[in-house]
């Protein structure tokens, strides 16, 4: 049974949404990924959001661009956490998406990551799930330690070769 729903309004969002899936894969978290347009197929969207709890989802990661209603509408229907990923857009650089997702009315919160922040959305979903899963919490601590070790290695390389040869 999937713990996380990953949903996007268009396949053009796949390069960002796949980063969330990669993090969940790395941490061993089950998910279901769908393309559903809140605007172009409202009935399908409503059924998705209404059935998400019944499917066992604990978190939904929803990516959207421009008007970006998908995350907010998920949050209006799904009673558990929703993480919104604003997509970069050509007209306003993703600020339109960011504002649409982050400016939710009182009572309908959506956790929002950076424009194009697929990996952070996956990590935030994992951190939410880790509040009640000690094995997952250990995996997250190991993941963070791996980030630290990568920086230490880069610095050691810089010290060895100098910035001109880095």
Q: How far apart are the first and last CA of the chain?
A: 46
Average pLDDT, the chain: 97
139: tokens are: 């995996």
Per-residue confidence (pLDDT) for residue 67, from 0 to 100: 87
Q: What is the pLDDT of residues 95-139, one digit of tens each?
A: 999 999 999 999 999 999 999 999 999 999 999 999 999 999 999
126, 19 Cβ separation under 8 angstroms: no
Q: Dig out the tokens for 9 from the structure.
A: 């309004």
What is the rounded CA–CA span in Å between residue 112 and residue 71? Answer: 9
What ranges make up the beta strands (E) of the chain?
4-8, 31-35, 59-64, 82-86, 111-112
Q: What is the largest CA-CA distance in the chain?
A: 60
Q: Give me the residue spans of the domains in the chain.
A: 4-132, 135-166
CATH architecture entry for 4-132: 3-Layer(aba) Sandwich (3.40)
Q: What is the pLDDT of residue 154?
A: 98
User: How does pLDDT run across 54-98, given as a tens digit for each residue?
Assistant: 999 999 999 999 989 999 999 999 999 999 999 999 989 999 999
């Amino acid at each position: 049974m999937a713990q996380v729903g990953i949903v996007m309004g268009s396949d053009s969002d796949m390069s960002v949404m796949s980063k969330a899936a990669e993090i969940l894969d790395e941490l061993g978290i089950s998910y279901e990924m769908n393309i559903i347009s809140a605007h172009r197929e409202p009935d399908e969207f409503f059924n998705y959001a209404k059935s998400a709890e019944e499917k066992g989802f604990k978190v939904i990661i929803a990516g959207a661009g421009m008007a970006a209603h998908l995350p907010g509408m998920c949050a209006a229907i799904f009673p558990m956490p929703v993480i919104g990923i604003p997509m970069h857009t050509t007209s306003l650089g993703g600020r339109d998406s960011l504002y649409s997702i982050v400016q939710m009315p009182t009572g309908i919160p959506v956790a929002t990551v950076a424009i194009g922040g697929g990996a952070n959305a996956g990590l935030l979903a994992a951190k939410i799930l880790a509040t009640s899963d000690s094995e997952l919490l250990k995996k997250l601590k190991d993941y963070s330690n791996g980030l630290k070790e990568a920086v230490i290695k880069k610095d050691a390389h810089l010290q060895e070769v100098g910035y001109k040869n880095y």
